[in-house]
Amino acid sequence: MASIALTLAVRRDGPLYGEVGTTQWMRDNTPSVVDLFADLIDPALTDIAAPLVFVVIVSVVWWRWGRYPAVLLGMAGACTGLTRVGDLVHRPRPTTTVGWSDYSFGNGGYPSGHAVFVVLVLGTVAVLARHHSTPRASKWIVGSMQLLIGLTLWSRVSRLEHWPLDVVGGGLMAAVGLVGIIWIHPRFATLALNRPRLGRLLGLP
């Protein structure tokens, strides 16, 4: 419900209260190491590169943890199509002077595609690590995913790629999908126990 309410709210013409000040503060107070991180990670999350990165992540998950976790990650990846709602909201990105501009079709700012991708995909990897990795490895994987998610979300605003609520909206939408993955994970496996063919298809014992 929160993501729906926010989506309706940001359809107004102009940034919402506090967005300009927040964006300016984040731009002016971001450590250089965060900007360096963004320079490294942004090319991997473009519309062209992100699918390739996703395939690599799924392949590694399949190799290390098996087919079922890879299937769940694939479902999470399918949910990243939520970014297409941006063509309905028509919200422009901030200008270099943190101002408002006219909307350009196909270049909408809401929701942040980077936010949707990292929260859904990396969040799912963290969830799967808790179930399919050793406690020690799980701790490192979850911590790394949280760090990558946090830095990516922050840098989208600090580099003036998005307004703060673009990132919040993307995160909320992705969170809905992530909760769905968490809910499905044990239940789908239980369902497959009574359906041998489904179990074999998913690579479950």
Mean pLDDT of the chain: 87
Is the per-residue pLDDT at 179 higher than 80?
yes
Domain count across the chain = 1
- Record the pTM: 0.89
The tens digit of pLDDT for each residue in 112-151 reads: 889 999 999 999 999 999 999 999 999 999 999 999 999 9
Is the per-residue pLDDT at 86 higher than 60?
no
DSSP letters of 136-187? HHHHHHHHHHHHHHHHHHHHHHHTTSS-HHHHHHHHHHHHHHHHHHHHHHHH
Is the per-residue pLDDT at 24 higher than 80?
yes
Domain carrying residue 136 = 2-202
